């Protein structure tokens, strides 16, 4: 696979589940290299419309290769989809797609700093022009903060040992490259599952932290719900348990709000909370797809349908509905 090639995961199931209305308006929150966007455009009618977002400057450049009057690309993080939709004059959409994580070109380009197998600057930012790089974080954070990031976002059982090793190394010299960090982690991790590099979980954790991916996902889901039309579809592709858990809990909270309601709220004179979303599908890649594209193995697609708007009389009291 070349560094410019990206095979979109769960492509056909995603298009089939999301695109329920061929002449509708759809939002691809994570354009990447455009695999899902192109497939959606191929299934849209002449009256349909697709808006795509991405904060990665190379992805934004790739948007320019799509010459279709039904398509419009916007440089934006998907947590900011409110402002992005306002900028193109769209109020609500018929479907929202989020493909969480990094694309193959991001991983394969050494100068982006995502890969522990390729030597490059320790960056890891989706948008290299904003925020703190992984190298900057490791240079200023104390051992406790580094440990918490690696433990919470990487689910790494050797987080203490890795954080200790990082702090010890940086006292000697700065940690500035991906292979610097990979070698430090390899020396601190005693055992690992067969076939998994010792640095996998640490690199994942730092990438999530640097880009605030879980906070972006939580905010993006809430705004996506508000921007969906009733009957519209939400499709989220995730690649590890933390992302999938956030998506699952979000949908369940809206699909069964009464079970999520705080006991104190049940005593208030509020209307009975009714479901706002319906769970539709949970799809994993087939064996054939995993063989063709090994990076799809951990992916899962969750699809839900919006059933109703939050009642206007509950503005400011959305907790009764779990939102």
What confidence tens digit (pLDDT) does each residue in 115-158 have? 877 889 999 998 888 899 999 999 999 999 999 999 999 999 99
Kindly state the helix (H) or strand (E) to which residue 130 belongs, with its residue range: none
CATH code for the part of the protein at 11-104+213-321? 3.40.50.150
What are the residue boundaries of the structural domains of the chain, listed by start? 11-104+213-321, 110-211
Q: Which residue has the higher pLDDT, 234 or 195?
A: 234
Provide the 10 A C-beta neighbour count for residue 175: 19
Q: Tell the CATH topology of 110-211.
A: DNA polymerase; domain 1 (1.10.150)
Between the alpha carbon of residue 86 and those of residues 3, 20, 82, 90, 316, the distances in Å are 34, 23, 6, 6, 22
Query: 93 or 103, which is more confident?
Result: 93
From residue 219, how far is each of 140, 212, 223, 321 by CA, in Å? 27, 11, 6, 17
Rounded to whole angstroms, how far apart are CA atoms 220 and 25?
A: 18
Tell me which residue of 243, 81, 208, 52 sits closest to 137, measured CA to CA.
208
45-56 pLDDT tens trace: 999 999 999 999
Annotated binding site: which residue ranges?
34-36, 54, 78, 99, 106
How much is the pLDDT for 2? 40
DSSP string, 9-73: TTHHHHHHHH-S-TTSEEEES--TTSHHHHHHHHHS-TT-EEEEEE--HHHHHHHTT---TTEEE
Instruction: Round the average pLDDT of the chain to a whole number and report it.
Output: 89
Q: Is the fold of 11-104+213-321 the same as that of 110-211?
A: no
Residue 318 pLDDT greater than 90, yes or no: no
pLDDT number for residue 270: 62
**Which segments are annotated as binding site for S-adenosyl-L-methionine?**
34-36, 54, 78, 99, 106
């Amino acid at each position: 696979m070349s560094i410019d090639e990206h095979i979109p995961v769960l492509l056909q199931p995603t298009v089939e589940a999301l695109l329920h209305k061929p002449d509708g308006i759809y939002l691809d929150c994570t354009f990447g290299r455009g695999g899902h966007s192109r497939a959606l455009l191929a299934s849209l009618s002449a009256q349909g419309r697709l808006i795509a977002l991405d904060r990665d400057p190379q992805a934004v450049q790739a948007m320019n290769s799509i010459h279709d009057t039904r398509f419009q690309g916007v440089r934006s993080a998907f947590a900011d989809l409110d402002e992005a939709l306002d900028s193109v004059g769209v109020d609500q959409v018929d479907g929202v797609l989020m493909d969480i994580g990094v694309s193959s070109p991001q991983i394969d380009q050494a100068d982006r700093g995502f890969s522990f197998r390729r030597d490059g600057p320790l960056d890891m930012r989706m948008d290299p022009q904003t925020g703190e790089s992984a190298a900057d974080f490791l240079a200023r954070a104390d051992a406790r903060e580094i440990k918490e990031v690696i433990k919470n976002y990487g689910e790494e059982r050797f987080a203490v040992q890795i954080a200790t090793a990082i702090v010890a190394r940086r006292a000697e010299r700065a940690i500035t490259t991906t292979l610097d960090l990979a070698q430090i982690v390899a020396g601190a991790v005693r055992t690992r599952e067969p076939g998994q590099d010792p640095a996998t979980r640490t690199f994942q954790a730092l990438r999530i932290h640097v880009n605030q991916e879980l906070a972006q996902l939580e905010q993006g889901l809430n705004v996506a719900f508000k921007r969906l039309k009733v009957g519209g579809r939400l499709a989220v592709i995730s690649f590890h348990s933390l992302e999938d858990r956030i998506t699952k809990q979000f949908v369940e909270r809206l699909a069964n709000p009464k079970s999520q309601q705080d006991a104190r709220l049940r005593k208030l004179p509020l209307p009975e909370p009714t479901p706002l979303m319906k769970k539709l599908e949970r799809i994993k890649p087939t064996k054939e797809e995993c063989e063709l594209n090994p990076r799809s193995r951990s992916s899962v697609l969750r699809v839900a349908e919006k059933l109703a708007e939050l009642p206007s009389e509950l503005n400011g009291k959305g907790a009764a509905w779990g939102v």
